Amino acid sequence: MTFDSTAFRKRFHYSGRDLGPTRTAARTRFRVWAPTADEIHLVLYKQGLGGTPVGLWRMQKSAQGTWTRAIEGDWAGIYYTYRVRRGAETHEVVDPYAPAVGSNGLRGMVVDFSKTNPPGWARDRRPAFRHPTEAVIYELHVRDATIHPSAGAKHKGLFLGLTERGLPNGAGLDHLRELGVTHLHLLPVFDFASVDETKPHKPQYNWGYDPLNYNAPEGSYSTNAADGAVRIREFKRLVLALHRAGIRVVMDVVYNHTYHGAESHFHKLVPGYYHRQNADGGFSNGSGCGNEIASDRSMVRKMIVDSLVHWAREYHIDGFRFDLMGLHDLETMKEIRRALDRVDHSILLYGEGWTGGDSPLPWNKRAMKTNVRALDRIAAFSDNIRDAIKGPVMEHAKGGFVQGEPGMEEAIKAGVVAQVAHPQVAYPKGDDWRGPWAVEPWRCVSYDSCHDNHTLWDKLALTAKDQPETVRLRMNALAAAIVLTSQGIPFLHAGEEFARTKKGVENSYNKPDSINAIDWRRKKKFAELVAYYRGLIALRRATPEFRLSSADAIRKRLTFLPGAPSGVVAFLIAGDRRHLVVVYNANRAPVTVHLPEANWSVLVDDTRAGVRPLRRLVGGPLPVPPISAFVASSSS
């Protein structure tokens, strides 16, 4: 294809940093990349929706396929589009580089970013953070957090709702601080298509994996979607509030596809360039959403990198989670890492190491979990440990280790070592997907649930429905203990610490608040489980042995104890000043393991977890209660 040729790239790749509007008080220059266009006009509007143009300016051809036009005066607050003619067809499109948009993202907006900064923004600093394995990530949807009446928020379901303190039931930001997580992972907060922003009081819901404009915040989370500057200011207030609470912010980004295919502004601007094609010339569908972005084309790669740098610099974002990262090529991911390192070396990067369907992108070029070994400080989710803990997400009735499914011990051990090679882990031969794909622990995100598929509690209800609630709560606690005492990067889904339910709905992406909203009354109902999670997080953050930074350190320090009975995984971690022993018992009955002779301080048992010793032991036979974890430390 012409777009993939070296000649096209050499002729039309534009490396400048001025795509979109470049505003000063004296003038604004607009630049758009559209090498196949025959004519482009800049169209200005007073409003983000409706009304007639207040001006129409013909743009001039410029370097490397770009078109440009400068207009004298200060145009902050003006809305704009590009009217693009190609042959007999003319389309009015939104600028892919629009830094702000009006209602429903149908027009870009020129913005004076200095006037969007909340008080204290210039002094905002990223909370201290050094190594990826030090992260404890908490995944949350903005609307879910405060839309339920039990949250008692003034700004229900909005960015500002998550800035509020002192809410009933310990909801929202106070809960995040109480848990002790290091990173808040926000489901997509860029401008997405499926919620009508002109109807803020109409009940509407979507996770946001339907991207429309990559460089502007979503308007339905703001108090006034009609003013593109308001959503910017309010999202910055949320970032600032989280930073002041000691919590870093991760954005869930969806650069793998666009909501529209042929109707997208990308396709109308440069038809066929931004999306991959299948053999018959139609849209390839590796995303499962009707199209996929061609990240391996140089101007698409540049768009993605420029967008991420924009969020990191202008909004002080501390990390990015890539939806269907397997659809991105390895070179793009490498360039992302290099570009963000120039902003801040501590920015966290991770993603889904798979695709939603087949893609024309060759397997050896995809950022799949089996290829992350080629990437520096970019991690992939471990579906291995997820399915080992609670059962495969695609087999609803099948359980995993915590439900007592036999034969799961080796898969749990592989998760404990963060999917790196270890002499005591028997990986399936010839199976890269379940093998030691991570190579290093910082490439592995360990989790038992996320927004996709059933919540942990709902999965337990499906697979252990004959068990009383007390037993399922023990399973929930054991799952958390496995995630938070395994090597790698732990990741938690919002509300799993108080048995969050979506009433059995597996794919709740567009279901109402009655399914998705977090019911904060459950925090009190399941207070013991919340305390258990809080204690495990505190223990992990206080214990370097749970956060080893290299595979060599794991192989050297972590030893699985021999002779563990079926349904039990037990291991010892040798530290510089102390040793740790960890036992997971998934059996319905107590088991006995042999604890090496030493002065042990018990830190986790079947009901409590934390950094303060619960009791002392000297070694020997140790009875471990059913469906529980045990952690103890001793001086070395």
How far apart CA 62 and CA 27 sit, in angstroms, is 18
133 and 489 Cβ atoms separated by less than 8 Å: yes
What separation in angstroms does the CA of 302 have from each of 15, 94, 331, 376, 402? Answer: 8, 18, 12, 19, 45
Share of the chain above pLDDT 90, in %: 98
**pLDDT(94) > 70:** yes
pLDDT in tens, 586-599: 999 999 999 999 99
Looking at every residue in the chain, the average pLDDT score rounds to 97
User: Which residues in 198-228 are b (16+ Cβ under 10 Å) and which e?
Assistant: bebeeebbbbbbbbbbbbbbbbbbbeebbbb
| Contact partners, residue 539, CB within 8 Å, separation at least 6 | 484, 485, 546, 603, 604, 609, 610, 611, 631
* DSSP labels, 473-489: HHHHHHHHHHHHHSSSE
Number of H helices, E strands in the chain: 15, 27
pLDDT at 242 exceeding the cut of 70? yes
279 phi, psi to nearest 5 deg: -60, -30
For Cα atoms 609, 614, 620, give the angle at the middle one, nearest 5 degrees: 105
Per-residue pLDDT, 1: 65
Specify the pLDDT at position 576: 86
- Integer angstrom CA distances of residue 308 from 35, 230, 316, 614: 24, 21, 11, 45
Alpha-carbon distances of 599 from 535, 542, 581, 595, 629, rounded to whole Å: 22, 20, 12, 10, 19
Determine if residue 111 is left, alpha or beta; phi over 0 gives left, psi from -120 to 50 gives alpha, anything else beta.
beta
pLDDT tier at 635 (50, 70, 90 boundaries)? Answer: confident
Q: Tell me whether residue 323 is one of the annotated catalytic residues.
A: yes
Choosing from 252, 323, 440, 545, which is the catalytic residue? 323
| pLDDT computed for residue 471 by the predictor | 98
Residue spans of alpha helices (H) in 255-358 = 265-269, 298-314, 330-341
pLDDT at 494 over 80: yes
Total-model pTM = 0.98
Q: Is the pLDDT of residue 6 over 70?
A: yes
Active-site residue, selected from the candidate residues 227, 352, 409, 448: 352
Residue 215 has pLDDT above 90, yes or no: yes
Residue 123 has pLDDT above 90, yes or no: yes
* Alpha-carbon span 72 to 25, nearest angstrom: 9
Give Cβ neighbours of residue 81 (< 8 Å, ≥ 6 apart). Answer: 43, 45, 92, 93, 94, 95, 107, 108
Q: Supply the DSSP string of 515-565, one letter for each residue.
A: HHS--THHHHHTHHHHHHHHHHHHHHHH-GGGG--SHHHHHHHEEEPTTPP
The whole-number average pLDDT for the span 542-553 is: 97
Helix axes 409-416, 469-485, angle to 10 degrees: 40
Single-letter amino acid code for the residue at 555: R
Asked whether the beta carbons of 412 and 386 are under 8 A apart, the reply is no
CB-based contact 386:479 (threshold 8 Å): no
- Residue 2, pLDDT score: 85
Place of tokens 């404009």: 213
pLDDT at 636: 64
Domains of the chain listed by start with CATH number: 2-93 (2.60.40.10), 136-423+437-547 (3.20.20.80)
Asked if residue 618 lies in contact with residue 599, where contact means CB atoms within 8 angstroms, the answer is: yes
Is 352 noted as a catalytic residue in this protein? yes
Instruction: Categorize the per-residue pLDDT at 480 as very low, low, confident or very high, splitting at 50, 70 and 90.
Output: very high
For 63-80, the pLDDT digits (tens) are: 999 999 999 999 999 999
Instruction: Render pLDDT for 24-73 as a digit per residue (tens, 0 to 9).
Output: 999 999 999 999 999 999 999 999 999 999 999 999 999 999 999 999 99
